[in-house]
Amino acid sequence: MNGKPKVLVTARLHEDAMNSLRNLAEVTTLARQLAASKSTLLEIIHDFKGVIIGSLEPFDKEVIYAGDKLRVISRHGVGYNNVDVKAATQKKIYVTITPVLSETVADLTLGLIISVARRIPQAHKYVNEGKWGVETGFFTGTDIYGKTLGIIGLGRIGSAVAKRAKGFAMTILYYDLIRNLEMEKQLGLKYVSLESLLSQADIVTIHVPLTDKTMRLVGERELKRMKPTAYLINTSRGPTVDESALYTAIKDGWIAGAGLDVFSEEPINPKNPLLSLKNIIYTPHIASATQECRYKMSMMSVENTIRVLKRKKPLHYVTS
């Protein structure tokens, strides 16, 4: 029998990261779809000292308490709403994260902003279907340059979005629980209330973690405050937006459209009514999915795990 500690990997890691993990640990991989099932996790978790997981695997109190040997829950990512950090902290289990993805997520955010305002995906589909022509006014989009951007949550990712928006000569408003005077000075950002951000912005983009307080942060009331010409972008977590209110908002023209990378249910339910709207574009939770970024995330999630297994402090962790 080999005496290496057992580590369960349910995130998709780069081979280099897998190899360095295998030097130290006995590695078991499990497809994300299976790992998203709590009953599967409950059956197997007691075997493992470490887990490296994606954003869907439900590490709630029950799963965490069933992990007798568990010392580290390593998130391949920064959001940890699928992990009960309080239960983990009580059990002295590290919950680690990989804060190396802000620039990559900010890139996709800008991509969604431009795509939704200029209807790039719809135009692509149109040409792909053998159609052509500007005879349809639908493809006369709106400018991004010089418009007003409202950033909800000026953390690592929100700040990276702000830096990019400067290049588009945008007026940048932000709302957060904490003011960032440094960023305000550096980029000329304006701190405003959530209400005033919603009513002034041409594009509202969400960059908050999912917590009890940010659950459905943008609902009917907030959507009604937005301009009928404004777009909503979400690359954070689906449940920060009330999806049924968003459906009505777009259908009834309270707002002009949305660009979404995240949904309240993932993988998305093909019957989700949002999919039937034409003023909306969506991607399958790919904001951090570039070769470069996923490499860094893989290496860091493994490094965090190895450190804990060697009884060292991980590079980045959260507690409660």
Per CB under 6 A, 55 contacts ligand 8YV: yes
Q: Which among 20-28, 77-85, 113-121, 250-258 is the span making contact with ligand 8YV, rule CB under 6 A?
A: 77-85
Q: Which among 70-78, 84-92, 140-148, 220-228 is the span making contact with ligand 8YV, rule CB under 6 A?
A: 70-78
Shortest-Cβ-distance residue relative to ligand 8YV: 77
Per CB under 6 A, 280 contacts ligand 8YV: no
Question: Which CB, 64 or 157, lies closer to ligand 8YV?
Answer: 157
Q: How far is the CB of 262 from ligand 8YV (least distance, A)?
A: 7
Question: Which CB, 79 or 219, lies closer to ligand 8YV?
Answer: 79
Site string for ligand 8YV, 93-122 (x = CB under 6 A): --------x---------------------
DSSP structure string for the chain? ---PPEEEE-S---HHHHHHHHHHSEEEE--HHHHT-HHHHHHHGGG-SEEEE-SSS-B-HHHHHH-TT--EEEESSS--TTB-HHHHHHTT-EEE-----HHHHHHHHHHHHHHHHHTHHHHHHHHHTT---TTSGGG-----TT-EEEEE--SHHHHHHHHHHHTTT-EEEEE-SS--HHHHHHHT-EE--HHHHHHH-SEEEE-----TTTTT-B-HHHHHHS-TT-EEEE-S-GGGB-HHHHHHHHHTTSSSEEEES--SSSSPPTT-GGGG-SSEEE-SS-TT-SHHHHHHHHHHHHHHHHHHHTT---SSEE--
Q: How far is the CB of 79 from ligand 8YV (least distance, A)?
A: 3
Residues with a catalytic annotation lie at 237, 266, 285
Q: Which among 71-79, 182-190, 263-271, 274-282 is the span making contact with ligand 8YV, rule CB under 6 A?
A: 71-79
